[in-house]
Structure 1
Amino acid sequence: MAALRAAKQALRKEIKKRVAALGNEEKLRQSRIVTQKLLKHPKYEQCQRIAVFLSMNDEVHTEDIIEDMFRRGKDCFIPRYFSSGSHMDMLRLASVQDIQSLPLTSWNIRQPGDEEDREEALATAGGLELILMPGLGFDKSGNRLGRGKGFYDTYLERCTRHAKGKPYTIGLAFKEQVCQKVPVDEKDILIDEVLYEDM
């Protein structure tokens, strides 16, 4: 177990270094390619209820994806993380403009405040059909390396108990985040697919 933790830590450091070396232009260029791939993806086209993350500087930019979702009339859900554990909810976003009104967390991520009354995706019969996943690293077999808090694994666990079942999961990545092999344990949930710029 300790060896696995050490392997994950080492890989996190390595990937962070690779992503930190990317200029903003390059991140934007790759983000556009990943966005184009997603918007043409049959799963994205078919699904109505989709969860997406509000990107941090070292992640594929999701602004254009969110705009496209509202343009197509899809239901958009974004994470609210609770810093005291690994609990996360996916709350409904009303509009693209809605994002600007959200408070910033200590991680510098915008998310709905604790007292806001918004629909949680799993609290209604609709559930979620597709989750667009952030991550530090991915491999081609669907293993994902998160930031170590377990938010998404815990949430996917909850999804499996919903009547709709586990949503389809797509990781969005810079090609620098795609590794030979991501070390995982039995708590790590495989994702269905990773989108990145193919060489």
Structure 2
Amino acid sequence: MCKSILTHDIDVQKKLLRGQMQKTLKDLLNDDSKVREAAKRAAEFFLNWKFYKEADILMAFVSSKEEINTLRILHEALSDKKKVAVPRVISDTRMDFFYLERDKPFEYQLSPGIFGILEPTELLKRFEVSDAAGKKTTMLVPGLAFSKDGHRIGRGKGFYDGFFSRFLPPVRCGFCFDVQIIPEVPHDNFDANVSHIISESGIIDCADRGRDSEP
């Protein structure tokens, strides 16, 4: 089978999966108390995780209303004196990260971007790959679905895969609800894996074929 047909098949599978996961998430998000409790438990797993505690730099997404909440983690990381960088869409194909400032409220640093998601203003300092030299960097990665072997499917814009082609943090943690962890995710050679997944049920070490990891 030629490469173009295989690529088409994977694209179709991804489109179908995105539709399924969006419906699954919509159903879950109708239960506010369940969503809040899940986000609280997942955040506790992350904040007690060795790769968070050891990190000098935390790169993390600012959650939308359709994602597991990350705001507590962002606040805690700044309180813990870590450098915290969050993403901003720069163009149709590019996303960069900018550092949050510890002494300013988020409402002065974040504003809705082109997709309605809170993004850092361009007045903040941009993350440069050289910043990570000699530093321990951990990234929280969003997604619609993850498999325990580390494959991920996003919303189809390719921003994270593009960023990972420029800088691939050694610890890339998918952060999601339990319902977003599925047996298999369609993928190709251009899709970057995550190294771990954290949900309300705990931590998964993807490099060890899905074995639950110690905090």
Q: TM-score normalised to the size of structure 1?
A: 0.89
- Distance between the aligned counterparts of 2:63 and 2:112, measured in 1? 13
Could you tell me whether the CA contact under 8 Å between 1:77 and 1:121 is conserved in 2? Answer: no
The match for 2:197 among 191, 194, 198 is: 194
Q: How does 1:62-73 map to 2 (within 5 A)?
A: 62-73=70-81
Note closer, same or farther for the CA distance 1:118–1:28 as it changes in structure 2 (3 Å cut).
Answer: same
Show structure 2 runs of 5+ residues with no match. Answer: 1-6, 203-215
Whole-angstrom distance in 2 between the partners of 1:48 and 1:140: 26
Aligned to 1:42: 50
Cα shift readout 1:95-126 (whole Å, capped 9, x = no counterpart): 37442122212311121334x25132425354
Corresponding residue for residue 12 of structure 2: 6
Of stretches 48-57 and 97-106 in structure 1, the one that deviates more from structure 2 is: 97-106
Which stretches of structure 1, 4 residues or longer, exceed 6 Å deviation after superposition? none
In structure 1, runs of 5+ residues without a counterpart are 161-165
Aligned pairs, number: 192
Equivalence map 1:47-86=2 (5 Å): 47-85=55-93
Task: Work out which of the residue numbers 143, 157, 160 in structure 2 matches 1:152.
Answer: 160
Instruction: Give a deviation string over 1:21-60, Cα, whole Å, max 9, x none.
Output: 1122221111111101001110100001110111011111
Indicate the SS of the match to 2:166: helix
State the Cα distance separating 1:128 from its structure 2 match.
6.5
Same amino acid, percent of matched pairs: 26
Task: Please identify which structure carries the higher strand content.
Answer: 2
2:23 corresponding residue in structure 1: 17
1:120 counterpart letter in structure 2: F
Q: Tell me which residue corresponds to 2:173.
A: 170
Secondary structure of the residue that 2:167 maps to in structure 1? helix
Give the CA RMSD over aligned residues. Answer: 1.8
Does residue 107 of structure 2 align to residue 100 of structure 1? yes
